[in-house]
Amino acid sequence: MQTETFTKALADQTRLRLLALLTDFPELCVCEFTQALTLSQPKVSRHLAILREAGLLQDRRAGLWIYYRLHEELPAWCKTTLQALREGSQKEAIFQADRERLSSAEKLNLNCNNTENS
C-alpha cells in the first residue's frame, strides 16, 4: 500500500464515514451502509468501489448482497491509522449518528440479512 494511494482514499468525508463503520462492525452490506449514512445506494457503492480499488476493502457476494470488510492484508501502519481515525471521529456528531443508525437497525433486525426472504 502506497501512502499516497491510502491518503487519497481517505480524502473524502463519505469514505471516512464508511471506514469508521468498518472499524466498529467487521463486515457490512451496501444496504447497511445506506441506512447508516442515509445516502443513496449508487453514491455509497461508488465510494466503496474507490476504497476497494485502492486496496482498503475486500468484498464478497452472497446472493443479491455484496458485503465489505477491511482488507485483511492491510499493512499495520494503515490499520493503526484507521484505528486513530476511528478514535478521533467518535466525538463528531456525524460519525456518532452513523453508528447509532446502524446499531438501531441491527437491534430491530432491519438489515439486509433479515429481508432476504421477505
Q: Is 105 helix (H, G, I), strand (E, B) or coil?
A: helix
pLDDT in tens, 75-112: 999 999 999 998 998 889 999 999 999 988 765 555 56
Mean pLDDT score, 34-47? 94
Query: Pairing relation of β-strands 28-29 and 65-70?
Result: antiparallel
Each residue's pLDDT tens digit, 44-56: 999 999 999 999 9
What are φ and ψ of residue 28, in 5° steps?
-140, 150
At residue 69, does pLDDT exceed 60? yes
Mention every residue, 6+ apart, whose C-beta is less than 8 A from residue 41: 30, 31, 34
* Helix H or strand E encompassing 54: none
Fold of 3-106: Arc Repressor Mutant, subunit A (1.10.10)
Hey, where are the domains in the chain?
Answer: 3-106
Overall pTM > 0.95:
no
